[in-house]
Structure 1
Amino acid sequence: MEIVILAVVIALVAIGAISGLVVGSRRKKKLPPPEAPPAPPTITAPPAEPHVGEEAETPREEPRRTIEEVGLPTAEEALEAPAAVEDPLVAAPPAPEIEVPEPTAGRLVRLRARLARSQNSLGKGLLTLLSREHLDEDTWEEIEDTLLTADVGVTPTQELVERLRERVRVLGTRTPQELRTLLREELLTLVGTDLDRTVHTESDLDTPGIVMVVGVNGTGKTTTTGKLARVLVADGKSVVLGAADTFRAAAADQLQTWGERVGARTVRGPEAGDPASVAYDAVKEGIAEGADVVLIDTAGRLHTKTGLMDELGKVKRVVEKHGPLDEILLVLDATTGQNGLVQARVFAEVVDITGIVLTKLDGTAKGGIVVAVQRELGVPVKLVGLGEGPDDLAPFEPEAFVDALIGD
């Protein structure tokens, strides 16, 4: 029995020993190290391409100076202030070249051919009708229709026809030259030769002459203001421009471009700002600079008569704190004909128009608008536009205008 127990004990001890050896060996066994990431593939760069000229020409040995041969600045030169070298990339742009406008004297005469191309049909039509052997009622009606079609207006047409009928009856025989002379005299009477067509730009006070330009947008108002600046500069006057049309985005830029071409400064304000404030500042700057004339370009909105009256009335009142306005010019598009007269009536009720500028007169055969608008407003046409060129604005001369109507 004892022997059996002893055998069991020995067996248990042996099993325990074996188990300890196995566990110890497991604890001492090291885990294999983690696998290292694969090395990146080796990329072989292609051989560098030769630069331009490297294969065409082998390098040449050039003489080189030693440090002893290089001239160094003296102590006095090293202490001098360094001279600034202007970088052409960041240098200020050159100032625009100032143009010299062509003289205004006789400008309409020089532009007469352009005017005659559009207006000649009126004069030729009248001369053809007057040259008929028998001037019956039908012929006189045709003469009236010709004048009315040219936008002369009803009342002026009736007056002209009555005078022509009387003079033709008294004249009796009618040679072509006599008819031409007769028609020229009557047309001159109709256009008016005794009206003051001077653009008044001289103030009675010790201030610049102040000219306000009004008109509907689209008639060429801002362009006319810029061209008028050229006319005044050509006559030897210094000009300051006031960009008081703040409601049209490009108006101030457009006016400034015109001014820069003749050396006239432009006073402008923020977009949609107060036009009266800009006009006031323009006159103030004109006084400070001792300018001869201040030209003020106003807004041309015609939404309601009340709004227009309030705006232009305010500009006029504010400007007159410096001095009275010497000229208020109304710009009309000659191609609009009788519709232009409607615009003229509205502006005439708002401000005291002193003169009319007819633009695009070379683009219409209805030159009679000159007569009609003068009769409607009771003020003279002082300037006419005869093209898109910068010097195509000319003082209105009745004789040159009538000569263009009836041709040579």
Structure 2
Amino acid sequence: MKAELLKRLIPMRKEDFCNLQNHTHGSLSKQEIPNRQMEAWQFTNINRLKMLTLVEAEASSSNIPKYLPLLPEVAEGTSRIILASEIDSVTVLDLSESIEQLTKEEIMENLGDILDATGCKHHWPVTLNYSHVNYCIALKVKKNMNGNLEIVHIPTQTGIQAIRILLIVEEDSSLCLNQVTLGQGLQLSSLVLEVFLGRESTLNHGLLAFADSEAGFLGHISVLQESNSNYTFTSVARGWGVARIEPRITQVSGNAKTVLRGLQVVEGNNQIDTHSYISFEGPEGELDQLHKSIADDKGHSIFNGIIRVPCLAQRTKASQLSRNLLLSSQARIDTKPELEIVADDVRCTHGATISQMQEDEIFYLQSRGLDVKQASTLVKKGYYQDILNTLPHSSNVWNPLERIMQVDSPLLGLHEN
């Protein structure tokens, strides 16, 4: 990795954030930690989350160089950025010519604006992130160009690890972005991502989030879409002690398309939340959302999806479906799809199902020579596959299906011997 490339990639170091951090530390001290009386947090395991926020940062014996041989080979034609908590541990592999760094002035001009426009600038997870972040990754895909990028966050210490990303996809450009977040031990990974999609731009965005049952994850994804842009976001999560994924998308003038796909697998005492919020600020916007979960053992899966269609968003087409499989009498699933519609000329639907694995499916597969375990595995694979199919192609090197089917930790292959 060339030193000049790293310097170009990361212009905002901790000193650039000092004023912002001083402000947000004050805001955080005044802001009450979420509690069960707050509707948006009523099902979240607050005690576990609070415990992780109090863990002191302590560097582990592992660091980025030790992890590098354990990572899968990067997909062909894809640039890879590997992040840790400290700037000195950032690794950049073959950054594409189509992707360039924003200047410091551009960062200061844009940072926080998308959060503000999507109504979450002062949400507690965002404030927590701002108060702990050490640097900012700020990139843009240049006009009329295509790119493939993977961003991997590797844990190197206990406590809160905050990652801050600003991404601009300029007019008539496209990007396939695969994010991988790993958690291990008493860590709380905090991700805040701001994305702006220009006119006629396309972003296929995948998030693979895997952990070892102790770690926590707070992922805040804030997206602004201009007209005729296309945004696809697919999240796949498993293994977190407590996790909360929050995509918030605003179509600023309508006439854009959003596709959301989510899959969360909970077992043991894991808890994973997804809270989505999509707002149409103009006519003829489209949304296609499908969220799936499987809950086993004493796992707890939570989904809350809000679609906002004001009067100015006529001829909106929006579909939202939450499908859930309950595999244990001790597991729990809470799901709440919501529509907030004022416009009268719309086609909007939503729904939710919670079911158990169908005995007739298992019986049929047994009649074809499979035992119960094999039949159950095959049904699960079919249940997962339509979500996994929408991930960026570069995610295939991580074997997401294998990681969510693995009996033990989904961090397979990433433990040091």
TM-score for the superposition, normalised by structure 2: 0.24
**Structure exhibiting the larger radius of gyration computed from Cα positions:** 1
Q: Which structure is higher in strand share?
A: 2
Q: Which structure is higher in helix share?
A: 1
Q: Which fold has the larger relative contact order, with Cα–Cα distance below 8 Å and residues 6 or more apart in sequence?
A: 1
